[in-house]
Amino acid sequence: MSLLEVNDLRVSFARRNAWFRSRSADFVAVDGVSLAVAPDEIVGLVGESGSGKTTVARAIVGLVRPGSGAVLLDGVPLGPVGRRTTAQQRAAQMVFQDPRSSLSPRMTVTAIINEAWRTHPESAPPGDRTAALHRLLDDVGLDASVARHRADELSGGQCQRVSIARALAVRPRLLVCDEAVSALDVSVQAQILRLLVDLRERHHLAMLFISHDLGVVHQIADRIAVMRRGVVVEEGRTTDVLGAPRHEYTRSLLDAALELSTTDAQDRSGN
C-alpha cells in the first residue's frame, strides 16, 4: 500500500491574458504522470528544467489545481490546499528551492515555527514551547541561538534547515523536496542530504525528492522516475535506472552528467 499515489496527472496553464483565446492554446506542463511513494521511501524525480517536475510537486501539495487525474493520500483523493482536512494538510509538506525566499523576511525563526504550531495545535508539542523549539532546531542541526534571528540574517544552508524544521514541526508523513539542495554550494548540499536521510529514519518520512542533478538523486533515492516534457519516460530502482538505463533520454542525461564530472576531474587534476 503506497502512501502517496499520483494517477494520470495532467496540468495545463492558461497563457497570460487569455481572455480571447481558446482553451487549446493552454500550455501543457504535465501530461499524464503516474507515481507512487511508499511509506519510508525516497523517490527521486529527475529531468531537465521545464520537464514539469515542479508542477507535479505543486500539484501534490495542492498549490496547483490539476486539469485531470488525481493525487491520493492513503487512497483518499486530495483537493487544492484550502480544501484539505487538517490531517491532510499536515501529512504532505514541501521544501522549496530558494532557501532565502522560502522564509518570510520579517519573521524570526521562532515566529516561523510557532506559526506552524499555531496553525496545527494538535501537532504542537505538549509543555514548554521554547524547549520544544530548541529540540526541533537541534533535530535539523541548528544551534538554539538561531531562534531569535530573522531569515535575512541566516546563511542559505541555515535557511534550508529552518524550512525543513518548519515542515517537520507539523509532523508530516510525506516531504516533497523541490530542488531543495540545488541552490546550495556542494559541501552544504552534502550536509542537507545527510540530514534528510537521517530524518527519514528518525521520523519515518517518505520523500519525493525532485532534482535535475542525477548525482544528488543517486545519493538519496531508493527509486527514480525520469521526466521529460511532462511525461515519465522511465521509472525503477535507483541502481537499475542509473546502472542500466533503458530509455534513450535517461542515457543522454547520464552521459551529460558523466561528461560534466570527468571534465570536473580533469580541471582539478590540471590545477
Question: Which stretches of the chain bind other proteins, using CB under 8 A?
Answer: 58, 61-63, 81-82, 84, 86, 89-90, 92-94, 96-98, 101-107, 115-116, 119-120, 152, 163, 166, 170
CB of 134 to other proteins, least distance (A): 21
For other proteins, the closer of residues 162 and 241 by Cβ is 162
- Name the one residue in this structure whose C-alpha cell is 564530472: 261
Place of cell 504542537: 124
CB nearer other proteins, residue 133 or residue 232: 133
CB of 103 to other proteins, least distance (A): 6
Residue closer to other proteins by CB (options 57, 242) is 57
CB of 98 to other proteins, least distance (A): 6
Instruction: Give the CA distances from residue 53 to residues 14, 60, 122, 128, 172, in Å, rounded to whole numbers and listed in that order.
Output: 18, 11, 32, 40, 21
Which helix H or strand E contains 263, and what residues bound it?
helix 248-270
Q: What are phi and psi of 28, to 5 degrees?
A: -90, 115
Alpha-carbon distances, residue 4 vs 55, 168, 181, 220 (angstroms) = 16, 18, 23, 18
Helix count and strand count (H, E) for the chain: 9, 10
Task: Give me the least distance between CB of 19 and other proteins, in Å please.
Answer: 10
Shorter beta-carbon distance to other proteins: residue 76 or 260: 76
Closest CA to 208 of 3, 17, 7: 3
Q: Report the residue number, 101 or 239, with the smaller CB distance to other proteins.
A: 101
Distance CA 139, CA 146 (A): 13
Minimum CB distance to other proteins, residue 97 (Å) = 7
Closer CB to other proteins, residue 98 or residue 240? 98
Nearest alpha-carbon partner for 155 in 167, 143, 168: 143
Q: What count of other Cβ atoms lies within 10 Å of the Cβ of residue 132?
A: 16
Closest to other proteins by CB, 91 vs 146, is: 91
How many whole angstroms separate alpha carbon 114 and alpha carbon 130?
10
Nearest distance, CB of residue 89 and other proteins, angstroms:
4
Least distance from other proteins to the Cβ atom of residue 54, Å: 11
For the chain, the maximum distance between any two Cα atoms, rounded to a whole number of angstroms, is 59
